[in-house]
Amino acid sequence: METISFIVSLLYQYADTIGVLALSAIGLIIIFGMMGVINMAHGEMMMIGAYITSFAYFAGVPSGIAVIFGALGAGVAGVALERVIIRRFYGQLLSSLVATWGLSLLLSQGALLIFGPQIKSVPTPFGSFALAELSYSYYRLFMLGIALITIAGLWALFRYTRFGVHARATMQNPRMARALGVDTSRIYALTFGLGAALAGLAGGLLALTANIGPFYGMSYTPQAFITVVVGGGADVITGLLASVLSLGAAKTIFVNQFNILLGHVAMLVLAFVIIRLMPAGISEWIERRRVSVRGR
């Protein structure tokens, strides 16, 4: 029984880690991997999603609908920011970093001034189940399911829809896309808005498990950036999946055997090793392997 309990606990922790990593990074990998913009305000998009989720919930909206409102609100904010500020910094990696860092400070400090250091937390739904002496939350497994559904939905969106074709064409060669009649300005705005909406979705979902404040998103931003850099931008979906599975495994093993601090350290060390061996990320390495196999 103890062996079964240990295995279930390890698998549960792994599933939880994968879900959190995927949710926190999925919006960022769309913006960074496809648009080449270092969005330092990613955590604040998550914060917007969390705030809207909380306000909607305590206004009487069911928690599931409140999370959707949070995602939509962050998406609208993302489109507005792209139109006003972000579009001026395409192709300027360091400039985009500085500009979005400034946005991050403005949004977090603005939230602090307007709403104070903390707002009401949304209760975690679904309850939990027990095995041996340990208790496990159904909601954490639900978040993993949502993360996988979102990744599958994104894959289908970029592979099978008109928007997806135009988005991939715009990111690869905007001049050619414009020559072929694609409204690249609209595609940029929608893609950035999609990334922001996914960040808001993550913020809303994770808000049901954590305290909400102006710096809420900052706790997720570092691991999101690590996940995105390790995944690479050659294929954002493949890169994201490979990154969360490998980093999640390292973190889970070390957290289970030692503590959460060493879990974060193990994840960072593995990221350094992967980047050293694959500077362009896992997805670029996988893409090269595919081309090599086809060429034989």
Among 217, 198, 252, 262, smallest CA distance to 104 is for 217
84 in a domain, yes or no?
yes
With cut-offs at 50, 70 and 90, classify the pLDDT of residue 150.
very high
* Domain membership flag for residue 267: no
CB atoms within 10 A of CB 253: 16
Q: How confident is the model at residue 296 (pLDDT cuts 50, 70, 90)?
A: low
When pLDDT is averaged across residues 213-239 and rounded to a whole number, the result is: 87
Q: What is the DSSP string of 105-166?
A: HHHHHHHHHHH-S-BPPPPP-S-EEEETTEEEEHHHHHHHHHHHHHHHHHHHHHHHSHHHHH
Report the alpha-carbon distance of residue 252 to residue 245 in Å, rounded: 10
Q: Is residue 74 part of a domain?
A: yes
Domain that holds residue 30: 2-217
Instruction: Supply the pLDDT for residue 22.
Output: 94
Cα separation, 83 vs 77, in Å, equals 10
The DSSP bridge partners found for residue 128 are 137
Which residue, chain included where needed, has tokens 């979906």? 237
The SS3 of residue 33 is helix
Residue 98 maps to a domain:
yes
Q: Residue 61 has what pLDDT?
A: 94
pLDDT exceeds 80 at position 4: no
Q: Do the beta carbons of residue 18 and residue 248 sit within 8 Å?
A: yes
| Both structure tokens of 68 | 């959707």
Q: Which residue has the tokens 């497994």?
A: 141
The residue ranking higher by pLDDT, 136 or 140, is 140
Q: How confident is the model at residue 57 (pLDDT cuts 50, 70, 90)?
A: very high
For 75-121, the pLDDT digits (tens) are 999 999 999 988 888 877 788 888 899 999 999 999 999 999 989 99
- 30: in domain: yes
CA nearest neighbour of 170 among 241, 104, 90, 255: 90
Q: Distance between CA 26 and CA 196 in Å, rounded?
A: 10
- For residue 279, what are the contacts with CB-CB under 8 A and spacing of at least 6? none
In a domain, 223, yes or no: no
CA atoms within 13 A on the CB side of 223: 21
Instruction: Say what the pLDDT of residue 52 is.
Output: 96
Number of domains in the chain: 1
Query: How many CA atoms, within 13 angstroms, populate the side-chain half-sphere of residue 136?
Result: 19
Residue 251 resides in a domain: no
Per-residue pLDDT reduced to its tens digit, 62-76: 999 999 999 999 999
Chain-wide mean pLDDT for the chain? 89
pLDDT, mean of residues 183-195: 90
**Number of CB atoms found within 10 A of residue 63's CB:** 18
Span of 88-97, 179-188, 256-265 with lowest mean pLDDT: 88-97
Which percentage of the chain shows pLDDT scores above 90?
55
- On whether residue 260 sits in a domain, the answer given is no
Nearest in space to 121 (alpha carbons), one of 24, 210, 45, 215: 210
Q: What is the pLDDT of residues 128-139, one digit of tens each?
A: 877 777 788 899
| pLDDT higher than threshold 80 for residue 153 | yes
